[in-house]
Structure 1
Amino acid sequence: MIEHNLTSSLISWYSKAKRELPWRSTKNPYNVWLSEIILQQTRIDQGLPYYHRFIESFPTVSDLAKAKEEVVLKHWEGLGYYSRARNLHHTAKYVSDHLNGQFPKEYKALLKLKGVGPYTAAAIASICFGEATPVIDGNVFRFISRFYGIDDDISQPKTRKVFMDVLIGLIDEAHPGEFNQAIMEFGATVCKPSPDCENCIFSQECYAAQHKAQKKFPVKLSKPKVKEKFFHYFLIECNGQYLMRQRKASIWNGLYEFLLLEAGKTLDSSDYPFDSTQVSLIQISEKFRHLLTHRILWLRFYHITVGEKYFSSLMNEFDLQPYSYEEVLTLPKPKSIINYLQQVSI
Structure 2
Amino acid sequence: MQIIERKKAFQDALLTWYEAEKRDLPWRRTDNPYYIWISEVMLQQTRVDTVIPYYERFIKKFPTMQDLSDAPEEDILKMWEGLGYYSRVRNLQSGVREVVETYGGKVPNNRKEISTLKGVGPYTAGAILSIAYGVPEHAVDGNVMRVLSRILLIEEDIALPRNKKLFEQAVMELISEEDPSSFNQALMELGATICTPNPHCLLCPVRDFCIAFEEGKQQQLPIKIKKQKMKHVKLAAFAIQNGDGNWLLQKRQSTGLLASLWEFPMIELQEFSAVEAFEKEKGLKLKNLQELPHVHHVFSHITWDIHVYRAQLEEEHTEGDLQFFTKQEVEALPKSKPVLKIIDLLEW
* Pairwise same-fold verdict (TM > 0.5): yes
| Structure 1 runs not aligned, ≥5 long | 232-260, 265-269, 280-294, 297-346
* From 144, 153, 157, the counterpart of 2:148: 144
Any residues of structure 2 matched to 1:223-238 within 5 Å, and which?
223-224=227-228
Quickly say closer, same or farther: Cα 1:262–1:209, change in 2 above 3 A: farther
2:9 aligns to what?
Answer: 5
1:333 aligns to what?
Answer: none
Q: Larger relative CO (CA 8 A, sep 6+): 1 or 2?
A: 2
* Aligned-residue offset at 1:40: 0.9
**Deviations, residues 48-102 of structure 1 (Å, cap 9, x unaligned):** 1000001111111111112111111111111111111211222222222332111
Structure 1 counterpart of 2:78, one-letter code: K
2:83 aligns to what?
Answer: 79
* From 118, 121, 140, the counterpart of 1:117: 121
1:68 aligns to what?
Answer: 72
Quote the Cα distance in structure 2 between the aligned partners of 1:122 and 1:201: 24
**What secondary structure is seen at the aligned counterpart in 1 of 2:209?**
coil
* Aligned-residue offset at 1:273: 2.0
Does the Cα contact within 8 Å between 2:10 and 2:209 map onto a contact in 1?
Answer: no
Quote the Cα distance in structure 1 between the aligned partners of 2:31 and 2:84: 27
Does the Cα contact within 8 Å between 2:41 and 2:88 map onto a contact in 1?
Answer: yes
* Aligned-residue offset at 1:114: 1.0
Does the Cα contact within 8 Å between 1:229 and 1:262 map onto a contact in 2?
Answer: no
Any residues of structure 2 matched to 1:17-56 within 5 Å, and which?
17-56=21-60
Any residues of structure 2 matched to 1:210-221 within 5 Å, and which?
210-221=214-225
| Identical-residue share of aligned pairs (%) | 44
Structure 2 counterpart of 1:130, one-letter code: G
* From 205, 208, 232, the counterpart of 1:201: 205
2:268 aligns to what?
Answer: 263
Quote the Cα distance in structure 2 between the aligned partners of 1:79 and 1:156: 27
2:307 aligns to what?
Answer: none
Quickly say closer, same or farther: Cα 1:71–1:212, change in 2 above 3 A: same
**Deviations, residues 203-227 of structure 1 (Å, cap 9, x unaligned):** 2332222333222100112242575
2:305 aligns to what?
Answer: none
2:99 aligns to what?
Answer: 95
Quote the Cα distance in structure 2 between the aligned partners of 1:146 and 1:63: 43
Structure 1 counterpart of 2:159, one-letter code: S
- Number of matched residues? 246
Does the Cα contact within 8 Å between 1:111 and 1:117 map onto a contact in 2?
Answer: yes
Q: Could you tell which deviates more after superposition, 157-166 or 144-153?
A: 157-166
Quote the Cα distance in structure 2 between the aligned partners of 1:162 and 1:94: 31
Quickly say closer, same or farther: Cα 1:66–1:214, change in 2 above 3 A: same
Any residues of structure 2 matched to 1:150-189 within 5 Å, and which?
150-189=154-193
Quickly say closer, same or farther: Cα 1:38–1:106, change in 2 above 3 A: same
* Aligned-residue offset at 1:262: 7.8
**Deviations, residues 17-36 of structure 1 (Å, cap 9, x unaligned):** 11111111211101100100
| Structure 2 runs not aligned, ≥5 long | 236-265, 284-300, 303-348
Quote the Cα distance in structure 1 between the aligned partners of 2:173 and 2:106: 31
Quote the Cα distance in structure 1 between the aligned partners of 2:191 and 2:278: 52
1:127 aligns to what?
Answer: 131
Quote the Cα distance in structure 2 between the aligned partners of 1:70 and 1:274: 27
Structure 1 counterpart of 2:33, one-letter code: P
Quickly say closer, same or farther: Cα 1:127–1:275, change in 2 above 3 A: closer
* Aligned-residue offset at 1:271: 8.1
* Aligned-residue offset at 1:185: 0.8
Does the Cα contact within 8 Å between 1:132 and 1:172 map onto a contact in 2?
Answer: yes
* Aligned-residue offset at 1:272: 6.3
Q: Which structure is larger by alpha-carbon Rg, 1 or 2?
A: 1
**What secondary structure is seen at the aligned counterpart in 2 of 1:121?**
helix
TM-score by length of 1: 0.65
TM-score by length of 2: 0.65
